[in-house]
Amino acid sequence: MVVNGKVLTMDRRGSRAQALAIADGRVVAVGTNREIGRFTGRRTAVVDAGGGTVLPGINDGHLHFNGFGFEASNFGFEGPRIYSYDVARSTAAEIAAVIAQAVQEAPAPDSWIRASQWDGTRLDRLPTRDVLDPVSGDHPVYMSDISHHALAVNSRALQLAGITRDTVPPPGGIIEKDATGEPTGILREAASGLVMAAIPPYTPAEVSEAMDFAASVLHSLGITSLTDPGVGLDQVDLYRGKILDGSLDLRINLMLRAGGTAAALEETLAGLGPMGDVDPRMLRVGEVKVLADGVPTDAQTSWLHEPFLDGGNGHLLTAGADDAERLAALHAVIALAARKGFQVGTHATGDAAIDAVVSGYLATRTNQLRHYVIHGDLTPPGTLRTMARNDVGVSFNPTIKQVYSRFFDTTIGPERVDYQWPFRTALDNGVRASSASDAAVVTPDWLIGVAGAVTRQGFDGKVGGIEQAITMEEALRSYTATPAWQDHAEDWKGQLRRGYVGDVTILSGDVLRARTAEEITGLEVIGTLIGGRVVYDATTSTAPAARAATGKVAAYRHQSAAACSTTGAVCCCRAHEEARTTRA
C-alpha cells in the first residue's frame, strides 16, 4: 500500500485521497490513511509517500524505446557504454573534434561511428563530409540530427551506401548536392534510408542491453507505460520474448511501421504472427504508425498551408509524383490499416499535413479505432473541432516545446511558434490531447514536459504562446488518463481507482504547489510501481538511483546548453542549473 500521499486519482471528477491499497496487481481501495490502514496485513509492504504527490503511472504515448536506450548517454544517463556520440555543438569544428575522439575509442579500424544531436539551426555550418573526412580515417560516420529527420555522413559512408552524384533519392528523400553536383553528405527524410540500409544492425544482444538500460531509466523517471512508434516485425519478437521471460517490466504499446505505400504495409501486416500467451496488458500490438510529413526545423519539411518564412515548404512523404498522388497514397495506407482493424497514428507537424491526415481518418469511418495525430504542432482550430466530434485524438510534445523554446521563430515565424502544440484550443474544443516526449528527440523526463505545457516557457525563459497554456491538473491528465484512452485502456489504467492496475508514480513534493518551471522540474520521482511491483525506489536504490539522479541534472544541463548557445551569450539558465546540481 501507499500511504501519506497527496493522491491525484485522475478519475473524471478529479478525486483526491491520501492512500491506496494494492493487491494482486490491482488497486483494491483508495482513501484516507485510516481507511487504507485496515488493509494492513503481516506481509503488507508499505510505501510512505512522505506527503508527495501520488499519480497513476506515467504513460509516455510516443517514445522510441530502444533508440532511447542507445542514445541515453546524450541526455546524461550514464549507460553501459557509448553507442552514439553526442554532437550537440555550435560549430562544425567542434563536431569534428568529437568524431576524432570517437575514432580513438573505436573497437575496429573500419567500424561505424554513430553520433546524433547536431542541430542545423545553431551550427555555423552543416557538418558535411568535408568536415568529417579529415578526422574519420577508414571509419564510416553517420550522425543523426536532433530531429532524426536528417543525417550527416562522411565519404566512406556515402561509398558504402552506394550514393553518388547520379543517385536518385527515394520518394520523399533529399540528397543534398554541392555546386559541382557531388553529394555533400547531408541526407534528409527518406534519403537517410540509403545509409541506414548499409549500416550493420545492432545485434539482438545489443538491442536487448539498450532496452534494459532504457527501462531502468524510465522506471527512475516514473514511467510505467509507453508507445513505441514505428517498429518492425523483428522488434515485435524481441519485445515479446522480453515480456514473456520477465526481463522487461513496462507496459508496451507497439506501432508497426507502415512504409510509404499500402503494398508495403500489407506485407508487414501479413507477417505479424500471433502474440501467444503474452499478457495483453503488458504488450499490445494494435497500431500502425504512418509518416505524413517532416519537421519545422531548418530542414523545413513540414507541409504547411502558408510556406516557411523563406518561401520553402515540405510535402507529404508518401509515394507519389505530386500532391494529389501523395495524398491518395496516404489515404490508401490509412484505409488499409483501418480495414485490417488497426488504430492509426500519423506523424504530422504542418497544418496541411494534419488536415490531410484527419480527412483520411474520417474517410475510413472507423472512429471507434481512435486514430490520432502524432505531434500535431500546427493543428488548425477548425480541424481540432472536427477531431473532437469524430474522436480523433492528438499526441502533443510539450517537452520539445520546453527544450526548443522559440528556436523555430526563424523557420515558421513567431506567430506559429506561439500556437505550436495548441493545448488550450484542443482541450477547450474537447479533443483528447495527450503528451509524449518523442525521446530520443529529447529526454523522456516528463516533468520538463509538464513545465512546458503549464508555463509555455522554454529553458531560455522565453514564453511561446501563454494563451495555449493548460493547468497542472490538465497536464498531468495528458500523461495518465488521456494516453490510456489512446491505448484503448481507459477502463484499467491511467487512473487510481478500485479495480485499476497498481501502476503508481510518487513525487518528492506536492506538484499542485509547483508554479514555475524550476519548481516543477525540481521535483524528483521517489518511487515507481507497476502492477504493485516496486520497480524504482529512490531511498533504497543504490547504483541506478544515483545514476538516474546524476542523469537528470546532466540532461537538464545538456538542454540548457543547447538553448544558451542558440540564444546568445547571456546565459539565463546557469543559475537554476547550478541550484539543481547542488540539491541533487
Interface positions with Zn ion (CB under 5 A): 347, 438, 564, 571-573
Interatomic CA distance for residues 202 and 215, integer angstroms: 18
Three cell numbers at 101? 575522439
Helix (H, G, I), strand (E, B) or coil at 332: helix
Interatomic CA distance for residues 68 and 399, integer angstroms: 15
Minimum distance of Zn ion from residue 368's CB (angstroms): 24
Q: Residue 140 or 449: which CB sits closer to Zn ion?
A: 449
**Which residue pairs, CB below 8 angstroms and at least 24 apart, start in 298-301?**
298/120, 298/121, 298/410, 298/411, 299/120, 299/145, 299/147, 299/149, 299/150, 299/188, 299/189, 300/411, 301/149, 301/188, 301/189
Interatomic CA distance for residues 484 and 490, integer angstroms: 5
Q: Which of 348, 450, 345, 350 is nearest to 393 (CA)?
A: 345
Q: Residue 438 or 524: which CB sits closer to Zn ion?
A: 438
Q: Residue 447 or 573: which CB sits closer to Zn ion?
A: 573
Three cell numbers at 88? 550537440
Q: Residue 264 or 571: which CB sits closer to Zn ion?
A: 571
Minimum distance of Zn ion from residue 62's CB (angstroms): 6
Cell 512546458, residue located: 452
Minimum distance of Zn ion from residue 59's CB (angstroms): 16
Q: Residue 254 or 573: which CB sits closer to Zn ion?
A: 573
Q: Residue 52 or 483: which CB sits closer to Zn ion?
A: 483
Minimum distance of Zn ion from residue 402's CB (angstroms): 13
Q: Which of 121, 165, 196 is nearest to 412 (CA)?
A: 121
Minimum distance of Zn ion from residue 375's CB (angstroms): 6
Q: Residue 226 or 417: which CB sits closer to Zn ion?
A: 226
Three cell numbers at 299? 530542414
The 3-state secondary structure of 450-518, one letter per residue: HHHHHHCECCCCCECCHHHCCCHHHHHHCCCHHHHHHCCCCCCCCCCCCCCECCEEEECCCHHHCCCHH
Three cell numbers at 66? 530502444
Interatomic CA distance for residues 555 and 445, integer angstroms: 9
Q: Residue 495 or 567: which CB sits closer to Zn ion?
A: 567
Minimum distance of Zn ion from residue 400's CB (angstroms): 10
Three cell numbers at 446? 516528463
Minimum distance of Zn ion from residue 160's CB (angstroms): 26
Minimum distance of Zn ion from residue 228's CB (angstroms): 9
